[in-house]
Each structure stands twice: as structure tokens, then as C-alpha cells.
Amino acid sequence: FKTCCVFCFVAPQAPVNWRQGKLLGRGAFGEVYLCYDADTGRELAAKQVPFDPDCQETSKEVNALECEVQLLKNLHHERIVQYYGSTRDLETRKLTIFVEFMPGVRRRQGCVCLLDVDC
């Protein structure tokens, strides 16, 4: 017999099979692209942050970013952009952070943007 809990929640996961789309914007730390999750069909925003895997300081910063994404993906509110996770690609030397795609939403002066993108 199975019980149900209204407060139980499974944290979202970063897509495994995804395709990069058009460039949405550039910021101080990287570029944001529209991307398509081939397994679920959903559109996401993918921020790509370059890093040097051979640099110990950069590796610490990337580890800190990954920990922050792990924390943020557990936040759920209608006014918070959903984080799905991140992947580290040593071949391209990029950390990709996957978040909910919000079509039509633009950054306004004075607003805080979690992706730090200039639209």
C-alpha cells in the first residue's frame, strides 16, 4: 500500500540528450542559448560558462557554481525561474547550467537576473 505526500518533491534533472539552439544573450560570465531536451520535448535556457580545467582556482569556482545550482534546483515557486541542473564538459571546457525558458521575458534595468545576461 502506497502513501502520498503533498509535500514530497523530486528535484528536476538536467537533460541528457539536448540540442543547442539560438543565442539568447551574453553576460559577464558566459552565453545563454535556447536548447531543446530531445527526451522530453521541452525548451530550456542553457547558460554556458567557460572554464579552465587545468586551473585549480577555476575548478574551485566551477565546483561552487555546481553546488549553487544543486541548491537552486530545489527551490519551487511561481516567481522563481526553475533550475534543472548543470553539466561539466571537459572537452569544450564549458559548464552548462539548465534553467526554465521564459519566452518573452526580458531583463529590465534594476532587476536582478540570476543568469546575468544582457538581453
CA-CA-CA-CA dihedral for 100, 91, 59, 65, to nearest 10: 0
The answer on whether 60 is annotated among ligand-binding residues is: no
| CA pair distance 20, 34, nearest whole angstrom | 6
Whether 52 contacts 93, CB under 8 Å: yes
**Residues annotated in the binding site for ATP, as ranges?**
47
**Residues annotated in the binding site, as ranges?**
47
